[in-house]
Structure 1
Amino acid sequence: MQLLGCDFSSSPTRRKPIVVARGQLCLEKRSVRLDELLHFATLDGWSEWLTGDAHGTWVGGFDLPFGLPRELVQALSWPTDWAACMDFYAGLSRAQIREQFKAFCAARPVGGKFAHRATDIPAGSSASMKWVNPPVAYMLHAGLPRLRAAGLYFPGLQAHQAGAPRVALEAYPGLLARSIIGRRSYKSDAAAKQDEARHAARLQLLAALESGATATGLSLKLGADQRQSLLHDAKGDALDAVLCMLQAAWAAQRHAGGDTLYGLPAQMDGLEGAIVMADLSDFA
């Protein structure tokens, strides 16, 4: 079974590209083999690759939000149907998004400025309405319309599609990384922070992934050159793509066992979406 993992950027460049990890899930051996890492310096290049005919069937984990908080959507009187809401959102400019979200936050008390989706808190992810540090609202705005245009299937957000050839799931690499190394930092875009401690954290992270001693229950199969590339990727973009691929593998396992939601919770909000492997039991 083919897998994808995507570390996304809403404004990619050659120095900070979108990175896609492509691999294969072997259910019998409970392993995931990394085949290649692809780099895209433009959104158009990434979109064209997604819509290509040569990639066959796959399950993909994408590090960008697939929805907005219901509380925010209702406060702004936007459509509460997911597809209609995402169509409306895609039609706004970044300036319009920032203006409306800032006005929403301004009316709220300190410490509770942002609305959160039910999945954000258990996953430890940023609110999908944040437009700075990190700008995940812009990631949603730039990425999701392109995923939808590629004809992908979004479990839990669309009507069930049996045998869908290309499945898109919301992933968050920090969730899987923290389950292994806690809150230790393993990456930084700032050269001054690319230190030995983060290198050691990546080493521990890779060792756990390769041994299969993680929440996925799957071992990561790497070549020697691939291992060194991931270890020395101080920005962590390629490693994050691999973590997303492993989250997609966990979901694909669940689907192979008969779970039509690919491991997403049955009680997930069909407007907000949910992050793969995030525990929503407290929100049932």
Structure 2
Amino acid sequence: MPHPAPPTDRLLLGVDFSSAPRAAKPIVAAWGRRVGAVVRLDTIETLPRLDDFSALLRRPGPWVGAFDLPFGLPRELVLALGWPTDWAALMRHYAALSREEIRSTFQAFCDARPAGGKFAHRACDGPAGSSPSMKWVNPPVAYMLHAGVPRLIEAGVDLPGLHAGDPARVALEAYPGLLARELIGTRSYKSDEHAKQTPERLIARKDLLAALEQGRSRLGLRLKLSPAQHEALAEDASGDRLDAVLCLLQAAWAVGQPGWGLPAVMDPLEGWILSA
């Protein structure tokens, strides 16, 4: 029996997050709505400060957001370090650490392990193809967790399967690379380095947008853009706006799934990446 169409009065949000946003490299938020199988992009906002991100989280619902940052740490790592195994207690402990303390602790953990198995992984990393959430460089997702999750908790949003909050403001973990790889394979479509913002990457962004607008992904959704929106997403060589839109589509998928599309059995310490 097909699932009913999701309510059209619930705003959808996709966020490309940065642990150190600034005017030149802000957090990007894409707002939109889903009607049936069509996801319409309404607006894109840029947030140059973490305080701007906190303010966004406090906006009244109902909305469902998909955020490109990890919501949990690998259970293997947590047990090895003797850190709290309750998610809320673990996040309080983690938030109290400095970035230098995080880096040195995770570096020592990796140094003690054999080549090829330096990092601990969450259960979702394999199916999502995501970086381990303890990684502190390229990309520094450990710092993204450190900067983002405490603000999600402080804002009182609902984190399904992890931490109860305002049911009108739902936050889910997303990963734009998962959807991008499904549609254009391993082709690179973005770079923050001007020298690497090549015609090949522009073509990859255009191919990715065409696939999204034609609804070719397994999410069963079709992205609706104006010509100006399409051009702006294609021309953003950093890919940040496109990543926010990829997260928006993952949020749109989640609202049409039982239990937000999260596994029936999910590790309540690690969390899960949407559609992995």
Please name the residue that 2:15 is paired with.
6
In structure 2, what residue type is equivalent to 1:146?
R
d(CA) in 2 for partners of 1:109, 1:82: 28
d(CA) in 2 for partners of 1:61, 1:234: 22
Please name the residue that 1:268 is paired with.
266
In structure 1, what residue type is equivalent to 2:66?
G
Flag as ranges the 4+ runs of structure 1 deviating above 3 A: none
Q: What is the TM-score with the length of structure 1 in the denominator?
A: 0.92
Q: Is the 8 A contact 2:57 2:157 kept in 1?
A: no
Please name the residue that 2:84 is paired with.
79
SS at match of 1:15: coil
d(CA) in 2 for partners of 1:165, 1:49: 14
2:190 aligned with 1:197: no
2:185 aligned with 1:182: yes
User: CA shift at 1:215, angstroms?
Assistant: 1.5
2:215 aligned with 1:212: yes
Q: How many corresponding residue pairs? A: 267
Q: Which runs of 5+ in 1 are unaligned?
A: 279-284
User: CA shift at 1:49, angstroms?
Assistant: 2.3
User: CA shift at 1:87, angstroms?
Assistant: 0.9
In structure 1, what residue type is equivalent to 2:45?
L
SS at match of 1:262: helix
Q: What is the TM-score with the length of structure 2 in the denominator?
A: 0.94
d(CA) in 2 for partners of 1:264, 1:21: 22
d(CA) in 1 for partners of 2:53, 2:75: 29
User: CA shift at 1:77, angstroms?
Assistant: 0.4
d(CA) in 1 for partners of 2:56, 2:199: 36
Please name the residue that 1:281 is paired with.
none
Deviation digits for residues 150-199 of structure 1 (CA, Å, limit 9, x no counterpart): 1111111135x7x8101100000000000000000011111111111111
d(CA) in 1 for partners of 2:63, 2:238: 27
Please name the residue that 1:99 is paired with.
104
SS at match of 1:23: strand
2:34 aligned with 1:31: no
2:58 aligned with 1:47: no
Please name the residue that 2:67 is paired with.
62
Please name the residue that 2:246 is paired with.
243
SS at match of 1:213: coil
Deviation digits for residues 44-80 of structure 1 (CA, Å, limit 9, x no counterpart): 1121222134xx3111100000000000000010010
Farther-moved stretch of structure 1 (227-236 vs 96-105): 96-105
Please name the residue that 2:235 is paired with.
232
Q: Calculate percent identity across the aligned residue pairs.
A: 63
Please name the residue that 2:25 is paired with.
16
SS at match of 2:182: helix
SS at match of 2:242: helix
d(CA) in 2 for partners of 1:52, 1:211: 32
